[in-house]
Amino acid sequence: MKRYVPCIIFFLFVIPHVIFAQKGERSLSLKYGATRLEKRQDPSMKQFRANRLGAFIHWGLYAIPGGEWNGKVYHGAAEWLKSWAKVPSEEWMKLMEKWNPVKFDAVEWARMMKQMGVKYVKITTKHHEGFCLWPSAYTRNTVAHTPYKKDLLGDMVKAFNEEGIDVHFYFSVMDWSHPDWRYDIKTKEDSVAFSRFLIFTDNQLKELAKNYPTVKDFWFDGTWDNSIKRNAWWTAHVEAMLKELLPGVTVNSRLRSDEYGKRHFDSNGNLMGDYESGYERRLPDPVKDLQVTKWDWEACMTIPENQWGYHKDWSLSYVKTPVEVLDRIVHAVSMGGNMVVNFGPQANGNFRQEEKVLAMTIGNWMKKYGECIYGCDYAGWDKQDWGYYTRKGQEVYMVVFNKPYSKRLIVKSPNATQVVGAVLLSGERLEVVETAKNEYNVSMPDREPEEPFVIKLRIKEATGVTEKYRDAFI
Ligand code: FHN
């Protein structure tokens, strides 16, 4: 009998916990799990949500080699070159001697981002390589010890803020160049070193919060290793520490682990941090994955298939067109998420031409149609093949990406919601024909736009269901 005791305990206690956890019901009492069950509704979080469109800037020493080391071009992400080419830290950090982005102009960057219509920019303060864009007092691996010397981060924060753009800090906890960084804690020595590393990281985070108090968000990365997962207390502590230092600040889910090593969502299935940050270079399915509309989330996207930092050869993978990037932006908003489009500036401080064109094209579209993005959310209407719905209060937007040969855009409204009119954002009216219960045809404009376009629906809610329709008896 004794032999079966562990099995009985497993089936009686562990399995039910796992099942409840998957349903997102509270069953385990967690010390380091989610701190709330609903979306945050304070002004800072509302602003984060309303912003909807952001830009990522991945900029660090990796921009100097641009994906090539000792004559060999590596296809992987350029910011991982140190790892692909197995470059020792001392050698990698010699790149600091060449860091001199003489063409960098923070004001120009901010103008470009403003023109693109982004409401916030996420800047890599420190990526996995360990090089800091600010003059940190806690390491030598900073911009202060390069020929450039000046505080790049400070200049960016100032310039972006002056354009009314919020600044978010990307921060990699994993630091390949710090002697105390560990992937796992296997020995007493690891444990001692890693404790020092966590103090070092706390100091850097406090320094960032203190020196750049207008920062609105911390976006953590490099937190997936066992060393961090075994220190769940620390992830909870960092979230609390930053929120105390910077009231209103938002923190992504990627920072957090609970005491069972569960990341993003705790062992009860509840979101940790303020918004989910697992959608990287991919998006939830707009029909099957509607559960994401229950929490805040933010996706990020590269323009080539997988290059965040500057890589000199973009021909090595597929490069998305501006319309494809736009499609992803609208897709995210239609499911209640934010989208962050990545840029990897060159080492001299210039953006590559393709990125400038993309930013300009998206910006021109946002100027005309941004009304269906900013402040918008999941509409709750069944997705149709022509594109996506977004919604702001009583305004329901159709964002049309695929023109139908029938010249009719099918709309299926939720129960007790009638469509009583449709207009282009220019004001031009479109014909609406009711075709069945809660089904309509909206006609295409006479002059069909040569770009994705937006139709605003006029709706009436809770006015009673039309009785003229009968379902078939089957
Ligand atoms: O390894 C990084 C990668 O270089 C890049 O910074 C992205 C951005 O989301 N995050 C990591 C991978 O998840």
pLDDT given at position 26: 61
Q: Which of 116, 102, 211 is nearest to 154 (CA)?
A: 211
On whether residue 51 sits in a domain, the answer given is: yes
345 shares a domain with 392? no
Query: Consecutive 10-residue runs of the chain (474 residues): their mean pLDDT?
Result: 48 42 69 97 98 99 98 98 98 98 98 98 99 98 98 98 99 98 98 98 99 99 98 98 98 98 98 98 98 98 98 98 98 99 98 98 98 98 98 98 97 96 97 97 96 98 69 76
- Cα–Cα distance, 46 to 55 (Å, whole number): 18
398 shares a domain with 288? no
Q: Which of 357, 342, 339, 341 is nearest to 310 (CA)?
A: 342
For residue 254, give the ligand 1 atom closest to its CA.
Answer: 13
Nearest CA to ligand 1 atom 3: 308
410 shares a domain with 261? no
pLDDT given at position 472: 79
Range of the domain at 456: 387-461
212 shares a domain with 125? yes
434 shares a domain with 343? no
pLDDT given at position 473: 78
For 95, the token pair is 């790149």
113 shares a domain with 230? yes
Whether the Cβ atoms of residue 222 and residue 173 lie closer than 8 Å to each other = yes
Q: What is the CATH number of the domain that holds 438?
A: 2.60.40.1180
202 shares a domain with 118? yes
pLDDT given at position 416: 92
Whether the Cβ atoms of residue 189 and residue 143 lie closer than 8 Å to each other = no
Please identify which residue in the block is written with the tokens 């090539």. 68
436 shares a domain with 355? no
Nearest CA to ligand 1 atom 7: 308
190 shares a domain with 59? yes
Q: How many domains does the chain have?
A: 2
Testing ligand 1's pocket by substitution, the residue of 56, 220, 228, 280 carrying the most ligand atoms inside 8 A of its CB is: 280
Q: 13: which DSSP letter?
A: I
54 shares a domain with 128? yes
On whether residue 138 sits in a domain, the answer given is: yes
Q: Which of 248, 244, 214, 241 is nearest to 123 (CA)?
A: 214
Query: Which residues does a 6 A CB cutoff place in the pocket of ligand 1?
Result: 58, 77, 79, 221, 280, 300, 308
- Cα–Cα distance, 321 to 361 (Å, whole number): 10
In one letter, which amino acid is 367?
K
Among 320, 345, 372, residue at a domain's last position: 372
On whether residue 316 sits in a domain, the answer given is: yes
For residue 56, give the ligand 1 atom closest to its CA.
Answer: 8
Whether the Cβ atoms of residue 67 and residue 82 lie closer than 8 Å to each other = no
Q: Give the Å distance between the CA of 257 and the centre of ligand 1.
A: 18
Q: Give the Å distance between the CA of 307 and the centre of ligand 1.
A: 9
On whether residue 306 sits in a domain, the answer given is: yes
Nearest 5 degrees, angle CA 137-CA 145-CA 307? 95
Q: Give the Å distance between the CA of 70 and the centre of ligand 1.
A: 24
Q: Give the Å distance between the CA of 416 and the centre of ligand 1.
A: 44
Nearest CA to ligand 1 atom 11: 221
pLDDT given at position 470: 78
Please identify which residue in the block is written with the tokens 């934010």. 338
350 shares a domain with 248? yes
Q: Give the Å distance between the CA of 280 and the centre of ligand 1.
A: 8
Length of the chain: 474
On whether residue 221 sits in a domain, the answer given is: yes
Q: Give the Å distance between the CA of 354 and the centre of ligand 1.
A: 21
Q: What is the CATH number of the domain that holds 352?
A: 3.20.20.80
On whether residue 119 sits in a domain, the answer given is: yes
Q: What is the pTM of this model?
A: 0.94
Among 319, 340, 372, residue at a domain's last position: 372
Testing ligand 1's pocket by substitution, the residue of 121, 221, 297, 302 carrying the most ligand atoms inside 8 A of its CB is: 221
Q: Give the Å distance between the CA of 221 and the centre of ligand 1.
A: 7
Among 346, 372, 398, residue at a domain's last position: 372
On whether residue 94 sits in a domain, the answer given is: yes
**Which DSSP helix (H) or strand (E) runs through 366?**
helix 353-369
259 shares a domain with 112? yes
Testing ligand 1's pocket by substitution, the residue of 308, 310, 338, 340 carrying the most ligand atoms inside 8 A of its CB is: 308
Q: Which of 182, 274, 176 is nearest to 228 (CA)?
A: 182
On whether residue 467 sits in a domain, the answer given is: no
Residue 406 neighbours by CB under 8 Å, 6+ apart: none
3-state secondary structure of 265: strand
